[in-house]
Structure 1
Amino acid sequence: MSETKKRFKAKIGNRTYTFVGKSSMEHMHAVTDLMNKQLSQLNQLSASVSYEDAMVLLAFNAISDQLKLQGELDELKTDSKSGAKK
């Protein structure tokens, strides 16, 4: 990952956003694609959900997934450390 911050324009749903970060353009495109796919899925499941509510649901789901993965990673690290002590 590059250390230089870059500007990235992303069209998510029907809006365009500009993000600034150190991630690669490939990473930012992958994030944008995944967000648009998940936003489309939410809209198919509930066409009446507002854009803002759909974005909150996306963020909630992303943070939930992040916490689950962090828990799994922490468990693996703990198991690895206890296995090394045996």
Structure 2
Amino acid sequence: MSKDKIRYKATIAGKEYTIIGARSVQHLQVVEKTIDEQLKQIEKLTKGLDPERRAVLAAVNAVSDQIEMQIKMQQMEKELEQLREEVKNLQHTNLNEE
């Protein structure tokens, strides 16, 4: 194991897991809490589903959110590039007016 990776023991849905990664303990605590809360919400909404299917639904929700955030990030990057181009054009125009 690399020296920059840590081992973190998480309890999710009443079961213990060891997470190995390069994230901070605080980050992993937030991840643990978020997953546990999502699984509890899914359990309340879907009483008849077994834990494996609830976990798959949680994974589907997570990937869906990730894709949505990637799309938003791409849109923001595109807007940023347009704004940079506008600033560049304004600077060029101001230099030509002087």
Ranges in structure 2 where 5+ consecutive residues have no aligned partner: 87-98
Taking only aligned residues, the RMSD between alpha carbons, in angstroms, comes to: 1.1
% identity of equivalent residues: 30
Name the CA distance, whole Å, in 2 between partners of 1:46 and 1:38.
Answer: 12
Q: Could you tell me the TM-score, scaled by structure 2's length?
A: 0.81
After TM superposition, give the deviation of residue 80 of structure 1 in Å. Answer: 0.8
After TM superposition, give the deviation of residue 16 of structure 1 in Å. Answer: 1.0
Q: Which protein has the larger Cα radius of gyration, Structure 1 or Structure 2?
A: 2
**Residue of structure 1 in register with 2:47 after alignment:** 47
**Residue of structure 2 in register with 1:70 after alignment:** 70
Ranges in structure 1 where 5+ consecutive residues have no aligned partner: none
Higher RCO (C-alpha 8 Å, min separation 6): 1
> Runs (4+) of structure 1 moved beyond 2 Å?
none
After TM superposition, give the deviation of residue 14 of structure 1 in Å. Answer: 2.2
**Alignment pair present for 1:56 and 2:33:** no
Q: Which amino acid aligns with 1:21?
A: G
**Residue of structure 1 in register with 2:95 after alignment:** none
Q: Could you tell me the TM-score, scaled by structure 1's length?
A: 0.92
Count the aligned residue pairs. Answer: 84
**Alignment pair present for 1:18 and 2:18:** yes
